[in-house]
Amino acid sequence: MAPSSLSDTIASSAKVGVACGAVGFLFGGTAGIVKGVPPVLFGGVSALQSFALGATYWSCRSTILHAWTPQHQTPSDLIIASSISGGITGGAVGLLTRGRSHAIPGAVMFTLFGFLGQIGYNAFTVERVADVKTGPGFWKRMSEKSFSPVKIMSDQEYADMLNDKILKLDVEIAILDDRIAALRKEQQDDSDQKPSVGAEK
């Protein structure tokens, strides 16, 4: 879902920018060490550029999605928004940091990055959602193996199992009641026969 207010957009864009800036600082510092330049300075410049790229891209993308489709966003909407945001971001940051000659190449490159990145993300998330909806989970699959000592049951299966156990208990109780009644009858017959035997003597 797109952010519902300007403050949400700013907060989320700042978080993305900070994350990108941290990654940029690590890469920039490493590149500075390799090139023999001060790593902190090189990493700081790279962090600022990465922060600008991440924050600008996310704010553009969030604004576009919220303006177009605030409620229901299709994969095509995400691809279009990511591509446009990538182009705006690459062109603007390239223009501000490297001059006019880098504006168009930056726009084209980041449009492609946004397009391909969103396609890959859509394919990954759709596949995972499909697996969750259509396929059994890991523990469900393991419980269905022949060597598994346990079985995962649904609520209906568990209720059916309890009903079967209750039915078996009712049958066993009925059998016990019949046996008790038979034993009482035998005892009653024995007690009735004893006086008659004494009278015959």
Indicate the pTM of the whole model: 0.53
Distance CA 155, CA 143 (A): 16
> Over the stretch 126-164, which tens digit does the pLDDT of each residue have?
655 544 455 555 555 555 655 556 666 677 887 888 889
Compute CA 59 distance to the chain's CA centroid, rounded to the nearest angstrom: 24
Asked if residues 40 and 66 have their Cβ atoms less than 8 Å apart, the reply is: no
Give the pLDDT score at 145: 58
Residue 6 token pair: 């300007």
The pLDDT confidence band at residue 166, using thresholds 50, 70 and 90, is very high
> Over the stretch 104-114, which tens digit does the pLDDT of each residue have?
888 899 899 88
Give the pLDDT score at 3: 45
The pLDDT confidence band at residue 70, using thresholds 50, 70 and 90, is low
Q: What is the DSSP letter of 38?
A: -
Residue 58 token pair: 């996310």
